[in-house]
Amino acid sequence: MKILVTGGAGFIGSNIVDTYISNGHDVVIVDSLETGRLTNINPKAKFYKLDIRDPKLESVFEEERPQIVNHHAAQMDVRRSVSDPKYDADVNVVGSLNLLELSRKFKVSRILYSSSGGTVYGEPVYLPCDEKHPIRPICPYGATKYIFEVYLDMYKFMYDMDFTVFRYPNIYGPRQDPHGEAGVIAIFTGLMLRGKPVTINGDGKQQRDFVFVKDIANANYLATINQKGSGVFNLGSGIPTDINQIFDALKSITGYEKKVSHGPAKLGETSRIFLTGELAFEALGWKPEVSLYEGLQATVEYFKLKEVDL
């Protein structure tokens, strides 16, 4: 099967590409490299350096004729979405619509889309959040991620184009950027391995649902080969972990000796969110396999070996 992966040079997308290729699929990557890395690209994939908003994207579809599109290219920084909501919408809505229209034109059979369970629900009414939880984002990023979910549902109605929406939890693991604005585990790991001060935004009691990136890649693979019809799935563990716990675990694994400091909380950040993964298990046979501590150990080892410029 030929699969086009947008954002395939990024943290999550590149892990998904590797899973597809290891299972014998033909993969085409489209990535602007604004946040992705050339070093993440699987050498067996065909790569186009291109923004999803670029009209030249049509020539990629014309040349490659993908059967499946896995859409992970995005503006994913919550703080940037707050400071520049127009840019956030341009990439996450207008760029995604460009991709969707081309998928319709070239008769793609399914689009897989990475949405955000951590932001589309806003401050939860109940926990863990399931897929029926009210949608009420409190930041522009969450709004734009959900808006494209609506377009996918609309295109299913109008054109019978199947889709899979994954509402992601906090994903961590190898290839996450230790210098980015998102990804607390990668940021803490990078700072600790360099012996630098670590600052937690707020009191550190914010709770999140952390799932290892290999488990997320497996969910994408299962949906690609097994799913019938269309659906929206949370990929949660259902287990809340607060940021102070993450700091303590990484401190133990890395041997970090400094004390943590606390700064102001981030605007637009949900205080407590974790997701159920029951529907994904029922429909796809998916559940997280890697425990948090095991995943943290694997992440630290990767950073020691690969992130030489920490």
Q: Which residues are catalytic?
A: 141
Quote the radius of gyration of the chain (alpha carbons, Å).
19
Place of tokens 């207008």: 94
Gap between the Cα atoms of 103 and 3, Å rounded:
12
**Facing residues of 234 across strands?**
167
Cβ-proximal residues to 115 (8 Å cutoff; 6+ apart), any chain = 145, 146, 148, 149, 165, 166, 167, 168, 232
Long-range contact pairs involving 181-187 (C-beta distance under 8 Å, separation at least 24): 181/77, 181/78, 181/79, 181/80, 182/76, 182/77, 182/78, 183/11, 184/208, 184/243, 184/246, 185/210, 185/246, 185/250, 185/296, 185/299, 186/299, 186/303
- Phi and psi angles of residue 232, each rounded to the nearest 5 degrees, phi first: -115, 130
Gap between the Cα atoms of 41 and 55, Å rounded:
23
